Structure 1
Amino acid sequence: MTDFQNSLSVSASGLKAQAQRLRHVSENIANADTPGYRRKTVPFENVVAAGQAEGMVKTGRVKLDQSDLARVYDPSHPMADETGHFDGSNVDLVIEIADAREAQRSYEANLKMFDQARQMSSSLMELLRR
């Protein structure tokens, strides 16, 4: 694989991984008020072929955050127990917004890397035509 193809593959894998991460962050935000909802996290893994790390990344299996669910007091809620409490979600909107910004910045960096490799490849082809 040429260096140009390798750099395009690495940045494309980063784009896919960050898009997947952003999808789960948006699901977490959408379900922040859903009773019993557990926050989803996506781990990243290096892609290894023939015993060598290629620099590419992929997402692992989605994991549920096992931290305690918030206890919410609302006696009028249909899921409330005899004390008037029910289990809320463990989604913290501040953390989700920070994760979304980090995923966006990483996505943009991978997109710039992809574009730079594409421009360099185009320039090389143009030089070779002369």
Structure 2
Amino acid sequence: MSDFSNALKVTTTGLQAQAARLRILSENIANVDTPGYRRKTVSFEMEPTRSDVTGVKPGDVRLDRSELEVIHDPSHPLADATGNYLGSNVDLIIEIADAREAQRSYEANLKMFDQTRQMSTSLMDLLRR
């Protein structure tokens, strides 16, 4: 049974990591038009568990230090003397693609969790006979 619990631990850490990634991506998408907003990124790190298996966990959230978009709009309240202000550095296409990737990874982990649970249940049914 420890192999089943190890598999469940690994898939659970994957689910938690992808959920954290989706939260960061949704923040980026929500702030795509916020002046001065910097895109956030999260990386994954290995997470040792009590057993001999290794899971994954979200690492530090970092700000993307690429240049902010310069927007010319003299009527904007944040515009300087030249009529420019700094927008965000969030690219909506990249965020949507990353969100799809995270969603698919989440679904794959969920499917593995469900298959492991089904195998465990089937084994218990066989042992009861």
Q: Same fold (TM over 0.5)?
A: yes
Contact 1:47/1:53, CA 8 A, preserved across alignment: no
Is residue 117 of structure 2 the alignment partner of residue 118 of structure 1?
yes
Q: Residue in 2 aligned with 1:10?
A: 10
Give the partner amino acid of 2:62: K
Q: Percent identity?
A: 68
State the alpha-carbon separation in 2 of the partners of residues 60 and 39 from structure 1: 16
Name segments (4+ residues, structure 1) moved above 6 Å. Answer: none
Is residue 79 of structure 2 the alignment partner of residue 101 of structure 1?
no
Alignment size in residue pairs = 129
Q: Residue in 2 aligned with 1:46?
A: 46
Q: Residue in 2 aligned with 1:71?
A: 70
Segments of 5+ residues of structure 1 without an aligned counterpart are none
State the alpha-carbon separation in 2 of the partners of residues 37 and 87 from structure 1: 9
Shift of 1:110: 0.1
Segments of 5+ residues of structure 2 without an aligned counterpart are none
Contact 2:49/2:55, CA 8 A, preserved across alignment: no
State the alpha-carbon separation in 1 of the partners of residues 14 and 42 from structure 2: 13
Q: In the superposition, relative to structure 1, how do residues 19 and 6 fare at CA in structure 2: closer, same or farther (>3 Å)? A: same
State the alpha-carbon separation in 2 of the partners of residues 116 and 6 from structure 1: 13
Q: In the superposition, relative to structure 1, how do residues 53 and 71 fare at CA in structure 2: closer, same or farther (>3 Å)? A: farther
TM-score (structure 1 length as normaliser): 0.95
